């Protein structure tokens, strides 16, 4: 059980052992919501967990647990409770098996006409009692809440069938219901295991350096600031910073990146990732439940427990559906005088498939997304993303790399580009300016060994002047070169103007008052940005805009490269205004940013999408959807998955409604028997679950 406290309220997540169907989850939910002091309760059948918000001054946790166990469900925490829960979990199977064996004997003896004539009836009654006990017990407990559930309908149907002497038919219906629930439980269990495998990545032990010795300790015993040793092939047990060694780190379980990332001293690593090569020592910064993996695990579970708008509507619909079915069955009996028709209506009309259609699809889609390094905070955002029409994107750090880069070099008097860069790098070596770092980084990429200048002067906002080996080097804007009395040819001025028109910043490089050339620097597009934009369009997103605080020239260059429209020179509050303007047009709007500078705009949009969230706590906490890596291709992936999830939800609901309606009509006409009705009812629930499980596959 997990408990959290907020201002004025608390939250607990309680694991529940024997939830057998979506209607069970609704029973628990209603039972808990009847407790004074409970603010809201959401029970997930797929996760077998209840998320309860309550006022700690008005109600205690034990009272909430009693409300969960009141309808006949179990909460396990201690070893004794786990043992009891195991047998409670096995009890439905035992009752089903006993009911099945006695029912089989009843039919076999009846066909073979073996023994006394009352023997088949006796075994049928035994099967009815054994199988009907848990169902009637659940129905009675639901009435005590008070509430009506699927077991109420089945109990009434079984009692009515028994009253007209249809013992074997009643026992068969009960057995089919129990068998269907068991198969349904197994099928949903596969979904649970698929999700559990995603979040059970943390190692159980860690190697820690203590008193100059390497000791293996349980993960819970590792402390912050301790040195943790990770050997090749091992999972990283903590979040931390590398202080020595290391090599390739596979981060796919957190970010979805397929290629391992090279890590060295000073780089951050995260719990659950795999050290594929090289040994390293890590200074632990977050341990146990404070790690990024633990944070992501909590978010996944909370997201899957949170109900989507469609699911809330269906749950409300189900509350009125059962009383309506009772009235329809009663009306059928009064009109036709045939109790079998009325009983069959009670059997076929249970809303299990309707209740399961949305939550199973939402859980499967969120689990699939998490495996690909995409955190979707809940079903509401999944559904909204499925309806997306307008996508607004930040430029710096989202569509572009977010740092200046040397993109062009123009030399004069047949000078080699490498020589131009060499002299510029010497002058810029001591500068901390972003443009200077772009120059020195380019030189490092080419393998230059850049010497330190003998002297260095920084003319803030203009450029630098340095001396090395008795030579004077100037790197800067045209104004600085003019101030030094160096003449700039007209052709060079035109070159600077053309580069400026393309949104680039140009640096003039001189050596002993001789103009060597021009280095043009710009923020560059992310790899795959153009392809990602094209794939987003393929998903039917009609409006894609870039919102940036950068200049018109820079925005125009990036916009043309990507083929999208833009708005430039926007302050953060102006981005928020643009988002609100788009929303007023009635379109579902998503905003993509880095989760820090764009937080107001992300919050204002229908869906806020943060990129590169694995390294940013703010991004994970504030965004509705967090892309754990900086890969733009994940945006069309999440749009495609959300659209597919929405389609599956609609298919499930339409199928469940049409299927139930047709069966009720056929039952009222007397064309469906009780046994066939039970089979068809359980088949509809299983088909809905299997339909949702399609969303667990990664896809193209």
Residue 197's SS3 state is: helix
Tell me which residue has tokens 């024997």: 18
What is the 3-state composition of the chain as percent helix, strand, coil, each rounded to the nearest 5?
55, 20, 25
Q: 438 has which bridge partners?
A: none
What is the CB neighbour count within 10 angstroms for residue 205?
14
Tell me how far the alpha carbon of residue 250 is from its chain's centroid: 20
Radius of gyration of the chain (CA): 33
Q: What is the DSSP string of 130-163?
A: HHHHHHHHHHHHHHHTT---HHHHHHHHHHHHHH
551 within 8 A of 561, measured Cβ to Cβ:
no
124 vs 685: CA distance, rounded Å:
26
- Closest by CA to 424, choosing from 397, 445, 453, 398, is 453
Tell me which residue has tokens 């008070």: 146
440 vs 436: CA distance, rounded Å:
6
Residues 6+ apart with CB under 8 A from 594: 394, 397, 398, 402, 610, 611, 612, 616, 619
Burial environment of residue 416 by CB neighbours within 10 A (0 to 12, 13 to 18, 19 or more): exposed
Burial environment of residue 243 by CB neighbours within 10 A (0 to 12, 13 to 18, 19 or more): middle
606 vs 157: CA distance, rounded Å:
46
Residues 6+ apart with CB under 8 A from 343: 157, 160, 161, 329, 674
- Extract the runs of DSSP E, i.e. beta strands, from 261-367: 261-262, 268-269, 274-275, 280-286
195 vs 691: CA distance, rounded Å:
17
275 within 8 A of 230, measured Cβ to Cβ:
yes
Could you say which DSSP state residue 615 is in?
G
If residue 100 lies in a helix (H) or strand (E), which one and from where to where? helix 79-112
Tell me how far the alpha carbon of residue 33 is from its chain's centroid: 27
Residues 6+ apart with CB under 8 A from 540: 389, 643
464 vs 457: CA distance, rounded Å:
6
From 394, 594, 606, 630, active-site residue: 394
Structure tokens, 630: 């900086």
Concerning whether 394 is annotated as a catalytic residue, the answer is: yes
Angle, vertex CA 188, rays to CA 187 and CA 189, nearest 5 = 90
Q: Which residues are identified as catalytic? A: 394
């Amino acid at each position: 059980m997990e408990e959290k406290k907020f201002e004025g309220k608390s939250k607990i997540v309680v694991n529940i052992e024997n939830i057998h169907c979506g209607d069970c989850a609704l029973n628990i939910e209603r039972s808990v919501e009847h407790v004074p002091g409970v603010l809201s309760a959401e029970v997930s059948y797929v996760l077998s967990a209840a998320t309860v918000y309550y006022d700690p001054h008005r109600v205690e946790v034990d009272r909430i647990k009693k409300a969960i166990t009141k309808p006949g469900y179990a909460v396990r925490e201690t070893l004794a409770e786990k043992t009891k829960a195991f047998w409670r979990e096995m009890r439905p199977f035992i009752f089903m098996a006993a009911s099945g064996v006695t029912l089989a004997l009843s039919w076999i003896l009846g066909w073979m006409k073996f023994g006394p004539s009352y023997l088949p009836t006796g075994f049928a009654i035994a099967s009815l009692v054994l199988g009907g006990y848990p169902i009637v017990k659940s129905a009675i407990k639901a009435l005590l809440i008070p509430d009506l559930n699927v077991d109420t309908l089945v109990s009434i149907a079984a009692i009515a069938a028994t009253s007209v002497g249809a013992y074997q038919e009643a026992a068969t219906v009960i057995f089919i219901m129990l068998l269907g629930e068991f198969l349904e439980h197994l099928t949903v269990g596969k979904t649970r295991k698929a999700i559990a495998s995603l979040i059970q990545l943390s190692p159980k032990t860690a190697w820690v350096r203590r008193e100059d010795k390497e000791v293996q300790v349980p993960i819970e015993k590792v402390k912050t600031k301790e040195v943790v040793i990770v050997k090749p092939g091992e999972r990283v047990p903590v979040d931390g910073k590398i202080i020595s060694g290391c090599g390739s780190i596979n981060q796919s379980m957190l970010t979805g990146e397929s290629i391992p990332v090279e890590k060295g001293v000073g780089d951050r690593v995260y719990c659950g990732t795999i050290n594929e090569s090289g040994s390293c020592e890590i200074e632990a910064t977050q341990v146990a439940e404070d790690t990024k993996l633990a944070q992501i695990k909590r978010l996944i579970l909370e997201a899957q427990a949170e109900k989507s708008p469609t699911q809330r509507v269906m749950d409300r619909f189900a509350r009125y559906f059962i009383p309506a079915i009772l009235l329809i069955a009663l009306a059928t009996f009064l009109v036709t005088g045939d109790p079998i028709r009325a009983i069959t209506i009670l059997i076929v009309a249970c809303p299990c498939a309707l209740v399961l259609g949305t939550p199973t699809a939402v859980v499967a889609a969120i689990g699939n997304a998490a495996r690909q390094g995409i955190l979707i905070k809940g079903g509401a955002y999944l559904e909204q993303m499925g309806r997306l029409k307008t996508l607004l994107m930040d430029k710096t750090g989202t569509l572009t790399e977010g740092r200046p880069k040397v993109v062009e070099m123009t030399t004069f008097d047949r000078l080699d580009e490498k020589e131009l860069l060499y002299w510029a790098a010497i002058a810029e070596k001591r500068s901390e300016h972003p443009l200077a770092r772009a120059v020195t980084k380019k030189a490092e990429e080419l393998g230059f060994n850049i010497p330190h200048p003998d002297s260095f002067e920084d003319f803030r906002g203009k450029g630098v002047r340095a001396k090395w080996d008795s030579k004077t080097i100037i790197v800067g804007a045209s104004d600085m070169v003019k101030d030094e009395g160096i003449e700039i040819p007209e052709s060079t001025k035109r070159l600077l103007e053309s580069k400026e028109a393309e949104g680039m910043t140009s640096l003039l490089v001189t050596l002993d008052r001789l103009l060597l050339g021009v280095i043009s620097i710009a923020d560059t597009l992310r790899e795959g940005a153009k392809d990602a934009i094209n794939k987003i369009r393929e998903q039917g997103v009609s409006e894609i805009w870039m919102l940036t605080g950068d200049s018109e020239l820079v925005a125009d260059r990036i916009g043309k490269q990507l083929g999208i429209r833009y708005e430039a020179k926007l302050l953060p509050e102006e981005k928020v205004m643009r988002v609100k303007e788009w929303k007023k047009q009635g379109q579902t709007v998503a905003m993509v940013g880095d989760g820090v500078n764009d937080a107001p705009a992300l919050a204002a949009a229908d869906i806020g999408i943060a990129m590169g969230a694995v390294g940013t706590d703010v991004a994970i906490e504030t965004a509705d959807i967090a892309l754990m890596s900086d890969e733009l291709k994940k945006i069309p992936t999440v749009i495609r998955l959300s659209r597919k999830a929405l389609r599956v939800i609609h298919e499930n609901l339409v199928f469940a409604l049409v299927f139930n309606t047709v069966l009720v009509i056929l039952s009222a006409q007397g064309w469906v028997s009780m046994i066939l009705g039970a089979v068809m009812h359980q088949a509809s629930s299983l088909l809905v679950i299997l339909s949702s499980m399609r969303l667990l596959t990664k896809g193209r």
